[in-house]
Amino acid sequence: MRRLRAVIVWVLLTGSFWPAAIVLAAAQLPPPASAQLADDPEDPKGTVMSLDWQAPTHIPDGWRLAGYRIWLACDDRRCSLERVLLDPSTTKAKIEGLDPLRSYRAMVQAIYAPAKAALVVGAATPPEVPLRFSHPAQGGPASPAGALYDPSKTNVLVGTVVLSAIVLLTLHYARRRAFYIRPIAGLQAVDDAIGRATEMGRPMLYVSGLGGVGSISTIAAMLILGHVARKTAPYDTPILVPCNDPLVMSVEREIVREAYLEAGRPDAFRPDLIFYTTDSQFGYVAAVDGIIMRERPAANLYMGTFFAEALILGETGNIAGCMQIAGTDADTQLPFFITSCDYTLMGEELYAASAYLSRHPVLVAQLKGQDIGKSLLALILILGLGLATFGQLCGVPSLYELVRKLLAG
């Protein structure tokens, strides 16, 4: 049987149709029936179609069903596909790698072989087996459309809707009354650092990290810089902002310019204090360390993305006797900042800084909504864990399966 299937594949793929071996059409052999081509509902991408048919009946004596041959072609005839199935019991095939929304047609032919085919074992060439093909059964036209909605992602949809509703509700209430925000020591110390620099008559140093302008932590650092600039503008306290990215430098100049304008001191803005140094990591650190040792700033603020240079910056500021406040979402650098700086913003405290400092209702609502959403998610996970454990220990597998479907999708 395996040898016969190998012969069929060899004949079909090589195109060696011997006149004595194969008859391409046989009107007396029954074809497949009810060929149907349709989009595969289980495929969300729209690149798979399913072809179904009914096996032929009343096969004549002396012949047996050996398999099927499938053709698939576009309506515009610019693409085609041929496949041979050597399992006579199958009546369904999935066709992959198709173009979404493109119209296709399909044909299915039954392959017949003699009931008792003579096989030659060890022959140099395949044996001559008289194969016959029935008339084709046609299906289509149809197009792979994909799924507009994936039922397995229902929990994600519900979570998104609930979280969005929470944020909108908190925004509504934030415009009517002030929300309580947990005090963050590092952000409370920003005003102390500004006052220290003003009293000492020395500048402040602001480093927004080594991230690009598209980094979330860099954007958070820019927002904090705007708050610091608005606070220092009335007192003419200079802020030194060395940058390692030209785009970051341009954005920070505009942020500080706008802050001075809002403070009513546009004449005090000095763009030369926000300058580009180098894009080399340790070259940039060397430049910043040189500024610290020469200018002796009253306070250093390190906000953003940092790497191996975190400890170098912190220790240099310690040697110069500067008050230092750091904030980063790089967990590998937090120990060095905690050790060498007076205050440290850890992780999401950096992202919450803009809402904490400005107290803008929109920002506060987003912060509060995220906190409520996280608390709700933690509560759901705890309840799900308890119910799943109870279902396993008490012999209620349906409860465990329900929790798994709700949480895992």
| pLDDT at 108 (0 to 100) | 86
| pLDDT at 12 (0 to 100) | 44
| pLDDT at 62 (0 to 100) | 79
361-393 vs 397-408: helix axis angle to the nearest 10?
Answer: 150
Residues 106 and 32: their CA atoms lie apart, in Å, by 13
Ordered by where they begin, the domains of the chain are 2-142 (2.60.40.10), 151-175+363-408 (no CATH), 185-358 (3.40.50)
Contact between 326 and 314 (Cβ < 8 Å): yes
| pLDDT at 127 (0 to 100) | 58
Q: Give Cα separations from 169 to 164, 179, 370 (angstroms).
A: 9, 13, 12
At residue 30, φ and ψ (nearest 5 deg) are -70, 135
Contact between 106 and 140 (Cβ < 8 Å): yes
* CA angle, 65 then 70 then 71, to 5°: 150
SS3 content of the chain, % helix, strand, coil (to 5): 45, 20, 35
* CA angle, 215 then 208 then 242, to 5°: 130
Per-residue pLDDT of the chain (409 residues), as tens digits, is 444 444 444 444 444 333 333 343 445 788 888 888 888 877 777 778 888 888 888 888 778 888 888 888 887 766 777 777 777 878 888 888 787 778 888 888 888 888 776 544 455 555 566 777 887 888 878 878 777 777 777 888 888 899 889 888 888 888 888 778 888 888 889 989 999 999 999 999 999 999 988 888 999 999 999 999 999 999 999 999 999 999 999 999 999 999 999 999 999 999 999 999 999 999 999 999 999 999 999 999 999 999 999 999 999 999 999 999 999 988 899 999 999 999 999 988 888 888 888 778 888 888 888 888 889 989 988 888 888 888 878 877 777 777 777 766 5
| pLDDT at 24 (0 to 100) | 39
Number of H helices, E strands in the chain: 12, 15
Instruction: Confirm whether pTM is higher than 0.75.
Output: no
